[in-house]
C-alpha cells in the first residue's frame, strides 16, 4: 500500500459517518455519564429506587409462577404432570387434545362449556347490575344531601368489613324460604350488591363530576335524570369501568356463594365445576382428569385477563380537561 493510498484511507474514514459500533460506544459513554448524576425519581435516592424495583420484580415473579406452571402443564398428559419437571415442557405435546376434552362430558359431571356459559351469564348480569347500582348509589351519595345520607354511607362502608362467608349461611336460609336455591337469580342478585363499588363510585364522582357542572345544567333547564345521563355519566366512565371489572372478576372467581346455593351440576359456574372435577380426580385413580383440571384452570383465567386488557384504556385521566378552569 502506498503512502498516498493510506492518506486516502484516512481521509475516507474522516468523512464517512461513524460506524454503528462507534455510535454504540458513544451512546454507552453518554449513558455512563448520565448515570453519574444521581438520579432521583419522586425525590427518592437511586438505591431506594433500585430496592423498590427489585421488590416489584420479586412480587411479579411470585404472581407469575403459578400462571407459568399452568400454561406449561396444560400441554402435558396426566402422567407427565406428576412425573416430569413442573416448569418445563414434556412430550407428548397434548395441549390440543386436552383442550378438546374440555368440551366433553367427563364422568357425567357436566361439561366445561356449560359451566363457562353459566359463569359468563352470572358475571355478566351480576357485573352490569353491580355497576349500575353502584353508580346510582355513588351518585346519590356524592351529589345529593338528604337526611341520613352520611349515616347511610357509613353503613355501606361498614358492609365492606363483613366477609361474604359470614352472610352466606343466613343468605342460604332466606333463599330456601323464597325459593332462590338452585336459581340463577340466587347467584346474580347478591352479586349485584357491591359496597366496594358504591364506595369507589362515590369517591370517583366526588373527584370527577364537578358540582358547578350540575349547577350549570340545572340553570340550563336540564332535569336531574337528564343531568345524570347526558352530563354526569360520560364523566363517570373510567370509574364505571373499574367497578365493572372488579365486580365481573369477583363474580367470575366466586367459589363460596355458588357452593352454598347450587346443588345441580348444570347450574355450576367454572369454580364449582373445576371443584367437582378436582374431587373426582382424587377419588378415581384411572380417569385422566388432572390434565382437564389444569387446562380448565387456564381457560378460566383467560377472560379475566382479556377483560382487564380491554378495559384498561378507560383508566385515562383528563376526561374532564377543559371543563373547569384550573
Partner 1 sequence: MADVTLEQLTKVYANGVVAVRGLDLHVDDGEFVVLVGPSGCGKTTALRMIAGLEEITSGRLLFGDRVVNDVSPKDRDAAMVFQNYALYPHLSVYDNIGFSLEMRRVPKADRDAKVRDAAEALGLTEMLDRKPRQLSGGQRQRVAMGRAIVREPSVFLMDEPLSNLDAKLRVQMRSEVLRVHRRLGVATLYVTHDQTEAMTMGDRVVVLRDGVLQQNAAPRELYQAPNNLFVATFIGSPSMNVYQGALERIDDGVAVVLGSQRLLLPASFLAEHPSLNAYLGRKLIVGLRPEHLTDPATGARPPEPGTTLVANVDLVEALGSEELAHFSIDAPLAQEGSKASRHVAAELLDGSTAPGFGSGIARLDPLTAIRSGDRATFAVQMHGMRFFDIESGEAI
Residues that bind partner 1 (CB under 8 A): 210, 212-213, 215-223, 226, 231, 234-235, 318-326
CB of 227 to partner 1, least distance (A): 10
Q: How far apart are CA 112 and CA 28, in angstroms?
A: 54
63/326 with CB nearer partner 1: 326
CB of 314 to partner 1, least distance (A): 14
Q: How far apart are CA 1 and CA 229, in angstroms?
A: 84
CB of 205 to partner 1, least distance (A): 14
Pair 139, 205: CB distance under 8 Å: yes
CB of 217 to partner 1, least distance (A): 7
CB of 243 to partner 1, least distance (A): 20
**178-181, Cβ contacts within 8 angstroms, sequence gap of 24 or more:** 180/261, 181/261, 181/263
15/225 with CB nearer partner 1: 225
229/308 with CB nearer partner 1: 229
117/234 with CB nearer partner 1: 234
Outline where 46-148 has alpha helix (H): 46-73, 78-83, 95-101, 112-143
70/213 with CB nearer partner 1: 213
In the chain, DSSP assigns E strands to none
Q: Count the Cβ atoms, other than its own, within 10 Å of residue 30.
A: 10
CB of 128 to partner 1, least distance (A): 22
Pair 208, 235: CB distance under 8 Å: yes
Diameter over CA atoms, the chain: 106
Return the C-alpha cell found at 25.
Answer: 460506544
* b (16+ CB within 10 A) / e for 246-281: bbbbbbbebeebbeebbeebebbbbbbbbbbbbebb
12/212 with CB nearer partner 1: 212
Amino acid at each position: 500500500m502506498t503512502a498516498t493510498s493510506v492518506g486516502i484511507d484516512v481521509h475516507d474514514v474522516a468523512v464517512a459517518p461513524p460506524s454503528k459500533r462507534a455510535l454504540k460506544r458513544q451512546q454507552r459513554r453518554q449513558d455512563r455519564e448520565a448515570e453519574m448524576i444521581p438520579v432521583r425519581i419522586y425525590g427518592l435516592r437511586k438505591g431506594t429506587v433500585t430496592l423498590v424495583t427489585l421488590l416489584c420484580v420479586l412480587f411479579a415473579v411470585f404472581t407469575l409462577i403459578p400462571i407459568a406452571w399452568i400454561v406449561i402443564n396444560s400441554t402435558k398428559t396426566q402422567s407427565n404432570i406428576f412425573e416430569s419437571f413442573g416448569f418445563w415442557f414434556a412430550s407428548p405435546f397434548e395441549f390440543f387434545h386436552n383442550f378438546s376434552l374440555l368440551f366433553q362430558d367427563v364422568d357425567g359431571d357436566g361439561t366445561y362449556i356449560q359451566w363457562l356459559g353459566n359463569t359468563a351469564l352470572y358475571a355478566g348480569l351480576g357485573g352490569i347490575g353491580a355497576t349500575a347500582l353502584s353508580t346510582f348509589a355513588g351518585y346519590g351519595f356524592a351529589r345529593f344531601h338528604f337526611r341520613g345520607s352520611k349515616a347511610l354511607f357509613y353503613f355501606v362502608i361498614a358492609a365492606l368489613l363483613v366477609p361474604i362467608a359470614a352472610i352466606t349461611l343466613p343468605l342460604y336460609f332466606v333463599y330456601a324460604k323464597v325459593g332462590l336455591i338452585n336459581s340463577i337469580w340466587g347467584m346474580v342478585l347478591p352479586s349485584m350488591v357491591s359496597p366496594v363499588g358504591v364506595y369507589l363510585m362515590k369517591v370517583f364522582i366526588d373527584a370527577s363530576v364537578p358540582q358547578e357542572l350540575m349547577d350549570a345544567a340545572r340553570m340550563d333547564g336540564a332535569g336531574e335524570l337528564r343531568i345524570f345521563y347526558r352530563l354526569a355519566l360520560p364523566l363517570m366512565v373510567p370509574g364505571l369501568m373499574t367497578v365493572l371489572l372488579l365486580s365481573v372478576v369477583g363474580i367470575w372467581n366466586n367459589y363460596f356463594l355458588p357452593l352454598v346455593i347450587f346443588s345441580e351440576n348444570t347450574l355450576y359456574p367454572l369454580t364449582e365445576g373445576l371443584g367437582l372435577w378436582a374431587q373426582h380426580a382424587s377419588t378415581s385413580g384411572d380417569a385422566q382428569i388432572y390434565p382437564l383440571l389444569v387446562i380448565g384452570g387456564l381457560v378460566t383465567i383467560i377472560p379475566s385477563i382479556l377483560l382487564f386488557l380491554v378495559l384498561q384504556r378507560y383508566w385515562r385521566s383528563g376526561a374532564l380537561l377543559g371543563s373547569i378552569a384550573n
